[in-house]
Structure 1
């Protein structure tokens, strides 16, 4: 399945976008073995419809709960939480 997370920063400066992406880039399949791949990036258009960044995770659907509760993943969420206004997800096969 594909798990996509969209992020909105509290203060959407270029520095905060860069900081968020650097944190997201710490996610990897060695530390989070149930994931098959990670891809992330900051928005480049800055349109009225844009959010600040996105994370795309490929993983087996039956591993989504394990991923959500993975200790390394949870540390990453805690690290980026002070930067975030909100996050939103989409999950599909």
Structure 2
């Protein structure tokens, strides 16, 4: 199992923007065959060191993740709409 986690900090973390970003990320559910698990979490602590959202995705292999990363839906529906909203993002990728 390969896990890809992304933390997102929005330029403007209004409730509306956080919900919109969450909807964009959740739109991947059922759209990318290689994506075996998807979880989107919205930060509730909102401390100075907090990010606004977290994405946890799971794949059968690193190779499946690599297919997902360049898939049409991920690039043209998710990244295209999400990137303009972002101040920054950070990732952690690991295999069990």
Root-mean-square deviation (CA), in Å? Answer: 1.0
Structure 1 residue 15 corresponds to structure 2 residue 16: yes
Structure 1 residue runs of 4 or more that deviate by more than 2 Å after TM superposition: none
Partner SS state of residue 5, structure 1: strand
CA shift at 1:91, angstroms? Answer: 0.2
Count residues with an aligned counterpart: 92
Where does the alignment leave 5 or more consecutive residues of structure 1 unmatched?
none
1:85 corresponding residue in structure 2: 87
1:57 corresponding residue in structure 2: 57
Partner SS state of residue 34, structure 2: coil
Q: Give the Cα–Cα distance (whole angstroms) in 2 for the partners of residues 51 and 90 of structure 1.
A: 14
Q: Give the Cα–Cα distance (whole angstroms) in 2 for the partners of residues 49 and 10 of structure 1.
A: 15
Q: Give the Cα–Cα distance (whole angstroms) in 2 for the partners of residues 79 and 49 of structure 1.
A: 25
Query: Matches of residues 61-80 of structure 1 in structure 2 within 5 Å?
Result: 61-74=62-75, 75-80=77-82
Q: Give the Cα–Cα distance (whole angstroms) in 2 for the partners of residues 41 and 79 of structure 1.
A: 18
Where does the alignment leave 5 or more consecutive residues of structure 2 unmatched?
none
CA shift at 1:24, angstroms? Answer: 0.9
TM-score scaled to structure 2, two decimals? 0.89
Query: Matches of residues 14-53 of structure 1 in structure 2 within 5 Å?
Result: 14-28=15-29, 30-53=30-53
